[in-house]
Amino acid sequence: MSSLLFLLIRSTKNNFLEILRKPGKLILWILVIAGIGGIFALSIFTRQSADSFLDIIWLKGILFLFILIFVVVAIQKGLSNGDVIFDMSDVNLLFVSPLSARLILMYGIVRMAKMSLLMGFFILFQSNSLSANFGVGFDAVLLVLLGFFLAVSLLQILSLLIYSLTNGRPVRKRAVRLISAAVFLPLIAYIGVQIAGAGEPIMALENTLRSPIIAWTPIAGWASEGIVSLISGDMGNGFLFLGLLVLTGALLILYIALSNPDYYEDVLVATETAFEKKRILSEGQINTEASSTRKIKVSKVGISGIGASSVFHKHLRESFRANRLGLWSISSALTILGAALFSLFLRGENSGIIILLQILMWMQIFLIGTGRGLKELYSHYIYLIPESSFRKIVWSNLEIMLKVVVESLIIFVVSGLITGAPIILIAAAVVVYTLFSFLLLGINYLSLRWTGADISTGLLIFIYTIAVVVIMLPGLAGAILIGSMFGEIGFLIGMGILAIWELVAALGCFALSKGILHHCDIPVMKTGGR
């Protein structure tokens, strides 16, 4: 036991010393801590509005759906290769050490809990959103972080248990899928009854959120009900449901420890898979599809186009091999569906389409870097094409821009029809959203050109977000200042000013990053370790 405590303490100390010895990381952490402190101070000195935009019950619904995504992912991980609670260093050193297997398991779970806490780090930056939309303070943000931490920690343990029970047993895997579906059948049936009775989707959804059936839905319901109850001052109900998370996690750990102390084989596959992915990324080989065991349907072969245009055609071929919808994957369909559902809450609001636009723009900040265009910079092929850097950048990003244009058209047309927004305002939202995505690409290329680092990944996302806000500030300030002078038509004028600024700023970023393919080495994705 003492050796494991020593390992945890020494690992923490070494991580701290590494931050002190690397000025870049030190500055990053100072900015992060200052940002959290600033948000905390702002939440204290900012008067909260009693007339918050949404009732606290809708926060419960948002948290339920958010945690439900992690529930689905955890079950899928458990049915495939389990969750990662160890590193290869643990496999090579701890697994062969004369220590109790149960103590090593507890060590892995403690490390896993630390990762769960880091996963919820971004929640601390949602203080202003929660205050503006629900009229709550920074203490509510901490409660959301606590509930998220408990739920994700429990899900990681559940994933390990599912893998341990179903690995190599197809019958048990089918049983887990059936049980998982059966858990949510009462909730689905209740929603159907409410819709049939109320007739109004919003009323049916609100009745469902206020019912005990959603509160007692395992994990997602427990966490969301516990968090909202504590925020609302219902301490007994809050501690009851959060206590269910803690109790269930403790019982699962106890079962794993008592029933299968020789769990090493159960966690080895997930650990080796994660290690191999890190190794490949550290070598700059980000296209790991070739080494994946996932079956790929090959319908057509060959690449069209000449010169730089062949990169675009390669992206099209890869997209249609990945899924039948091509450029528009399941995530695109979910985004459109989510936007349509959220628009139901905004019916009758004059600024409904503007609120939706703001949310989608925040989401795009974190998603734009996942496109294939930026990833091409981590492969040597694009550097070998004998054409100008500008043409290669345009063709390599044509796929994602085409995807953004079509998605924005569908999202804002559907949402505009639901909210009753005028056609010209819908068109303005499409233009602003598309040009904002264009600007984000320019910021990413600018960071790669002058720093050699992709700042839209990892903890650097904080600096990246600040950079986006700073670059957008002149356009936002002009849009708000001038738009407010023209009454009802001010929305359109403000969005027009913002769109023009986005275009100018994007062109400026691309101009400053000119020659990125000719004046810098191939970027390499860095991976951290203990």
On whether residue 280 sits in a domain, the answer given is no
- Helix (H) or strand (E) segment spanning residue 374: helix 372-375
Could you tell me if 66 and 33 lie in one domain? no
Return the closest-CA partner of residue 164 out of 33, 96, 309, 263: 263
Could you tell me if 125 and 239 lie in one domain? yes
- Alpha carbon 316 to its chain centroid, in Å, reads 25
On whether residue 270 sits in a domain, the answer given is yes
Cα atoms in the 13 Å half-sphere on the side-chain side of 329: 11
- Helix (H) or strand (E) segment spanning residue 328: none
Could you tell me if 330 and 450 lie in one domain? yes
Could you tell me if 141 and 22 lie in one domain? no
Return the closest-CA partner of residue 33 out of 121, 100, 109: 121
Could you tell me if 107 and 28 lie in one domain? no
Could you tell me if 91 and 37 lie in one domain? no
On whether residue 116 sits in a domain, the answer given is yes
Q: DSSP letters along 90-157, please?
A: IIIIITTSSS-HHHHHHHHHHHHHHHHHHHGGGGGGGHHHHHHHH---HHHHHHHHHHHHHHHHHHHH
In the block, tokens 């084989």 appear at: 265
Number of domains in the chain: 3
Helices 490-512/461-483 angle, 10° precision: 140
Could you tell me if 334 and 464 lie in one domain? yes
Could you tell me if 413 and 394 lie in one domain? yes
326/362 Cα distance (integer angstroms):
25
Q: DSSP letters along 153-191, please?
A: HHHHHHHHHHHHHHTT-HHHHHHHHHHHHHHHHHHHHHH
Handedness of CA 487, 491, 496, 497 (dihedral sign): positive
Rounded mean pLDDT for each run of 10 residues along the chain, 530 residues in total: 73 76 67 65 54 72 86 83 70 74 75 72 68 75 88 86 80 89 86 74 79 90 92 90 92 81 66 66 50 53 73 78 68 78 69 79 72 71 78 81 87 86 88 90 78 54 73 84 74 86 88 71 51
On whether residue 527 sits in a domain, the answer given is no
Q: Are 360 and 339 in contact (CB under 8 A)?
A: yes
Structural domain boundaries, residue 237 = 55-274
Could you tell me if 30 and 137 lie in one domain? no
Quick one: pLDDT at residue 530?
43
Quick one: pLDDT at residue 527?
46
In the block, tokens 């925020």 appear at: 231
On whether residue 524 sits in a domain, the answer given is no
Could you tell me if 43 and 62 lie in one domain? no
On whether residue 245 sits in a domain, the answer given is yes
Two tokens, residue 487: 């009454």
On whether residue 529 sits in a domain, the answer given is no
Could you tell me if 260 and 345 lie in one domain? no
On whether residue 525 sits in a domain, the answer given is no
Could you tell me if 451 and 471 lie in one domain? yes
